[in-house]
C-alpha cells in the first residue's frame, strides 16, 4: 500500500505499482470469473478483464442485451451463458445487475454460491440494506466489492485510452482467507487507476449522496435554475445555454479537473475571479443544508426504500422514459443538441 496525503489526511491506497497486473493474473489464474448482467457496469468490467488476460464468462438473459454481448465478442456456449449456468461454472460471481434485479434474482442464484466461492459487487446497496433487499449471503463465501467511481462506459473508454478509473474496495466477509487478494486482483484487472479502501455501508451512503447531489441531481437543478433566470430576463437560448452549460463543460471543467479550482480561477478574468470568490460562500451556505438533509435521508435507508419501491413497479421503465423524455425535450437540452452540432469538431 502507498501512503498518500489527501488534503492533510494520510490514506493508504493501492496503485498498479504496488499491485501489478502480473500479480493479479497470478492470484486469479485458477479462477473462473462470471460477470452476471451486461447492462451498465457489466460490459466495461467484463471486456477489461478479458483484455487483461483473465478467464471471464458472461451470464445474461436472452434479449437485446444478450445480443449486445455477442456483438462484443462473447460466444454463446463458450463464454456467454444464462445467468444460472454462468454462476454455476464460476468461482467468482460478479453481480453487476441493477439493485432491483439483484433482489429479484437473489432467490434463484444464491444456491450457486457454494462454499469457497466469491460474491462480488460494485455497489454496497444490496448488502447495506439487506433487511430491505433480502440479500443475505452465507458465511462460507467471500463477499467483496470493487466500485469504480464512474460509469461502465467511462471505465471501458479510459481503459482503451491507457488510463484508469479510480475505484473503492471492501471486504464484507472473508471465508477463504484470500478475499482481500481476490478483491485487489479484480480491482486491478478491471482497469482501476488506484484503489482506496471503504466499507459496503460507506460506499452505499456516499454513492447515493453523490448521485443525488453534485454528480447528477444537484447539477441539473443548478444548471436549470440559472438557465431559467437568464431566459426570464430576455437572454436567448443560445446565450443562456453557453453561459450555463457549454462553457462549464467544454472550457472550465477540464481546467479544474487538471489542476484544481484555484488554478481554474487563476486562468479566468479578474472579474470572473472576484465574482466566483464572492459568490461561492452564499452558494455553499444555501446548498449545505440540502446536502445534510439528503445525507440523512440516505443514511436512514429512506432513499434506498424509495428506489426499491419505484424499481419494483411493473411500469417503472415506462414512467422512467417519460421522465427522461421530459428532460430531453426541455428547451435547455434541445438547445444543447444544436450547440453540439455547432462545435468545431462536428463541422
For the annotated catalytic residues, the residue numbers are: 123
What is the CB-side half-sphere exposure of residue 262 using CA atoms within 13 A? Answer: 0
Dist. CA 208–CA 131, nearest whole Å: 18
Residues in the chain: 347
Contact call for residues 69 and 82 (beta carbons, < 8 A): no
Contact call for residues 99 and 123 (beta carbons, < 8 A): yes
Which triple of cell numbers denotes residue 156?
A: 471501458
Across 168-195, b (16+ Cβ under 10 Å) vs e yields bbbbbbbbeeebebbbbbbbbbbbbbbb
Q: Among 100, 176, 101, which residue's Cα sits nearest to residue 138?
A: 176
User: For the purposes of burial, counting CB atoms within 10 Å of the CB of 100, is it exposed (0-12), middle (13-18) or buried (19 or more)?
Assistant: middle
Amino acid at each position: 500500500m502507498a501512503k498518500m496525503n489527501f488534503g492533510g489526511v494520510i490514506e493508504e491506497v493501492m496503485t498498479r505499482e504496488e499491485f501489478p497486473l502480473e500479480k493479479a493474473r497470478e492470484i486469479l489464474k485458477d479462477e473462473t470469473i462470471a460477470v452476471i448482467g451486461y447492462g451498465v457496469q457489466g460490459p466495461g468490467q467484463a471486456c477489461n478483464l478479458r483484455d487483461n488476460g483473465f478467464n471471464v464468462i458472461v451470464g445474461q438473459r436472452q434479449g437485446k442485451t444478450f445480443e449486445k454481448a455477442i456483438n462484443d465478442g462473447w460466444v454463446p456456449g463458450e463464454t456467454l451463458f444464462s445467468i444460472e449456468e454462468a454462476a454455476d461454472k464460476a468461482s467468482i460471481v460478479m453481480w453487476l445487475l441493477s439493485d432491483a434485479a439483484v433482489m429479484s434474482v437473489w432467490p434463484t442464484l444464491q444456491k450457486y454460491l457454494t462454499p469457497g466461492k466469491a460474491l462480488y459487487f460494485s455497489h454496497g446497496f444490496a448488502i447495506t440494506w439487506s433487511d430491505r433487499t433480502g440479500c443475505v449471503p452465507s458465511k462460507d463465501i467471500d463477499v467483496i466489492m470493487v466500485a469504480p467511481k464512474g460509469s461502465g462506459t467511462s471505465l471501458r473508454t479510459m481503459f482503451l485510452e491507457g488510463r484508469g478509473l479510480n475505484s473503492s474496495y471492501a471486504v464484507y466477509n472473508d471465508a477463504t482467507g484470500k478475499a482481500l487478494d481476490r478483491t485487489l486482483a479484480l480491482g486491478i484487472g478491471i482497469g482501476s487507476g488506484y484503489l482506496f479502501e471503504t466499507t459496503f455501508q460507506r460506499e452505499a451512503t456516499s454513492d447515493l449522496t453523490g448521485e443525488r447531489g453534485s454528480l447528477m441531481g444537484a447539477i441539473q437543478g443548478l444548471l436549470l435554475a440559472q438557465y431559467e433566470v437568464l431566459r426570464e430576463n430576455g437572454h436567448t437560448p443560445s446565450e443562456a445555454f453557453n453561459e450555463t452549460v457549454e462553457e462549464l463543460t467544454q472550457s472550465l471543467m477540464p481546467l479544474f479537473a487538471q489542476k484544481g479550482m484555484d488554478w481554474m480561477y487563476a486562468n479566468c478574468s479578474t472579474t470572473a475571479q472576484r465574482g466566483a470568490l464572492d459568490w461561492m460562500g452564499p452558494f455553499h451556505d444555501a446548498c449545505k443544508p440540502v446536502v445534510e438533509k439528503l445525507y440523512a435521508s440516505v443514511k436512514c435507508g429512506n432513499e434506498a426504500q424509495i428506489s426499491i419501491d419505484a424499481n419494483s413497479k411493473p411500469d417503472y421503465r415506462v414512467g422512467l422514459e417519460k421522465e427522461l423524455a421530459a428532460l430531453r425535450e426541455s428547451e435547455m437540452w434541445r438547445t444543447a443538441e444544436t450547440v453540439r452540432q455547432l462545435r468545431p469538431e462536428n463541422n
